[in-house]
Structure 1
Amino acid sequence: MPLKRSLKQSLERLASLQSRYNIFTSVSPSPYTLSNKEEISKELAGYAVSIKDNIVTKDLPTTCASHILENYKSPYDATVVKLLKQAGVHILGKTNLDEFGMGSGGIHSIRGPVINPLYPHEEKRIMGGSSSGAAASVACGLVDFALGTDTGGSVRLPACYGSVLGFKPSYGRLSRFGVIAYSQSLDTVGILSKKIDILRKVFLVLDKYDAKDPTSLNEELRGLIEKNKKIKKLGKSVL
């Protein structure tokens, strides 16, 4: 189930939290994408998500927190974004990051640093990076989960700083088509949430072969992985 708050409540809190913690680079003017009847049959119906601003979206700007792409708007959605929309997710907005993902503190952005919401009454502290805004949006409870990207810790670091769960799937499991890469041979789309069951549910929605991504694991390899899982499970039951 989605977190115990409505999308309307998140939108009402967003402006205040944004001014304090600098989480978003842009906010969706209309996150309600589906009618109630359509939502009933969707895997992630009613869930709210934020998208790191180096994953392209056709409805919102993709800036990578850089002057270079300050006015760029993609003509298409990244495959992971497309799959989330098909699953009934509401996209709240795009999140702040170290410019082009190059940083581990969430401080190197044309938008300014992301502030850690776990310390509202203390001296300002960093959120970790580069998926700083993604982790902060989850830590604040604005979204059920967030998409980030991880090259050498860019999901896992801010997850630790924000006391949330950060999952970097194995390379090739989630499509990178539409991700503005920092390092092609290492970049992986990752998922952040407060709940492990939400991470699992989102992963199952996004764990698909994508012919548009040359690094995506093909169906044959995915079949072998599932076969090996079943063999190991059978072996354990016999023992």
Structure 2
Amino acid sequence: MTIRVLICDELPVIRDGLRTLLDAAPDIDVIDTTDNGMEAIVLVRTARPDVVVTDLNLRTISGLEMIRRLGKEDTRPNIVVFTGSDADKTVSDVLHAGASCLLGKDASPQDLISATRAAAAGRTMLAPDIAQRLVTWFREQPDTLESAPCPEVTELTELTPRERDVTQMVARGMSTEEVARALTIGVATVRTHLYRVRTKLGVRDRAQLVSLAYRSGLIQPTGRAPGDEKPGSQADLRAG
């Protein structure tokens, strides 16, 4: 399946370079480029790209605000943020806004292609230094899995059987396409189910959804420790 990509960057030389790079991949088709955040939202609604590759510096509205607004769309694309800033605030804002992948401007061409493919498959991919900082932060947190209250648990009863199935599969690390194949439904249908689940449970993104699934007991931890993943050029974290 060809991955349809929209590129957003303020600088023409970056947009053109990214287009040339991604178009060279046999399974990627760049449908358009823009330097305008509002225009990007319109293009997403009309052209329906699978992935948006964007910087955070755009005209009219920032890339961060664009990501937040796209997160409210019924057919939201997956987002790859390609930015020169890796400050903690930037990382936090981008991930909470709902981006799938976050790379620095020092990423290799293959890293960007891999991130685009990962985003299209519903996976999360982070630059190695960002992933390491997140793992360090996670290990420093107290273990509150069993003691933390979960006021949202009662909301799980509002989920339909199919929505519960999708939630469980995502929480176990399956990508959108894998869930679709397992349930013999379309990828768009899976995304619709996930959108409805997030709305019912009041969670912003898949990371919060997975956290709720474990805290509520819908999914039981497997006991696998952080860091068991195979190393690679970038950290590829399965997030559904």
TM bin, normalised by shorter chain, reads: 0.3 to 0.5
Q: Normalised by the size of structure 2, how large is the TM-score?
A: 0.33
